[in-house]
């Protein structure tokens, strides 16, 4: 008998969220309506060389999810372990992933297959991005900001201010 208990009514939505975008918040909002509890796992993910520190990303995520209709069902936590270990430790039974395109599906299905081999008790569900968010990616938002473009259609005003500040720019 494993030492962990997972609950299929608890979802776990992992990501680097560097920064959190309206696309991420759309998935979080919709997933929070599907589960009794949704855990948003903010990954350290040093391999991606985040612009924002883990603490900044956690604070930013907490601030943004507090505005959502089901905020009382959402908990934000950081993790620096293998995804399967973070999910088990949190007691979640389902991993939530957002899909923007066929390319996302190919990558996410491989990830889901690996997760299934490591933890057959954990299910993965995919939510398609809403049409208005299918082209939104954190890396694109950062690139637009680096080149002095307007990121207000991708992120909230607070997130934009933080990103621009980290890049040594001011909001226009």
The answer to whether 100 is a known catalytic residue is: yes
Question: How far is the C-alpha of 125 from the C-alpha of 98, rounded, in Å?
Answer: 9
Residue 49 in marked binding region? no
Sheet holding 74-79, edge to edge: 74-79, 37-43, 7-15, 92-99, 123-128
Residue 138 in marked binding region? yes
Residue 17 in marked binding region? yes
Residue 170 in marked binding region? no
The one catalytic residue among 48, 66, 153, 165: 48
Phi-psi region of 31 (alpha: psi -120 to 50; beta: other; left: phi over 0): alpha
Residue 137 in marked binding region? yes
The answer to whether 48 is a known catalytic residue is: yes
Residue 98 in marked binding region? yes
SS3 content of the chain, % helix, strand, coil (to 5): 45, 20, 35
Are the C-beta atoms of 11 and 35 separated by less than 8 Å?
Answer: yes
The one catalytic residue among 24, 30, 57, 73: 24
Residue 34 in marked binding region? no
The one catalytic residue among 32, 112, 129, 138: 138
Residue 99 in marked binding region? yes
3 CB burial (10 A radius; 0-12, 13-18, 19+): exposed
Residue 135 in marked binding region? yes
The answer to whether 116 is a known catalytic residue is: no
The answer to whether 70 is a known catalytic residue is: no
The one catalytic residue among 62, 89, 100, 169: 100
Are the C-beta atoms of 41 and 79 separated by less than 8 Å?
Answer: yes
Residue 126 in marked binding region? no
Residue 9's SS3 state is strand
Q: Which residues are annotated as a binding site for substrate?
A: 16, 48, 83, 97
Catalytic residues: 24, 48, 100, 138
Q: Which residues are annotated as a binding site for ATP?
A: 16-17, 24, 98-100, 108, 133-139
Q: Which residues are annotated as a binding site?
A: 16-17, 24, 48, 83, 97-100, 108, 133-139
């Amino acid at each position: 008998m494993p030492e962990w208990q997972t609950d299929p009514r608890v979802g776990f939505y992992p990501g680097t969220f560097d920064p959190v975008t309206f696309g991420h918040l759309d998935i979080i909002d919709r997933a929070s309506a599907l589960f009794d509890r949704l855990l948003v796992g903010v990954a350290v993910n040093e391999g991606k060389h985040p612009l924002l520190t883990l603490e900044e990303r956690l604070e930013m995520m907490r601030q943004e999810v507090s505005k959502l209709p089901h905020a009382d069902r959402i908990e934000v936590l950081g993790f620096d372990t293998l995804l399967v270990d973070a999910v088990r430790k949190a007691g979640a039974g389902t991993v939530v992933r957002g899909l923007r395109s066929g390319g996302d599906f190919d990558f996410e299905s491989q990830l889901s297959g690996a997760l299934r081999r490591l933890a057959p008790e954990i299910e993965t569900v995919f939510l398609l991005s809403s049409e208005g968010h299918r082209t939104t990616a954190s890396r694109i938002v950062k690139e637009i900001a680096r080149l002095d473009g307007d990121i207000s259609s991708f992120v909230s005003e607070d997130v934009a201010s933080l990103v621009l500040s980290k890049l040594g720019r001011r909001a226009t």
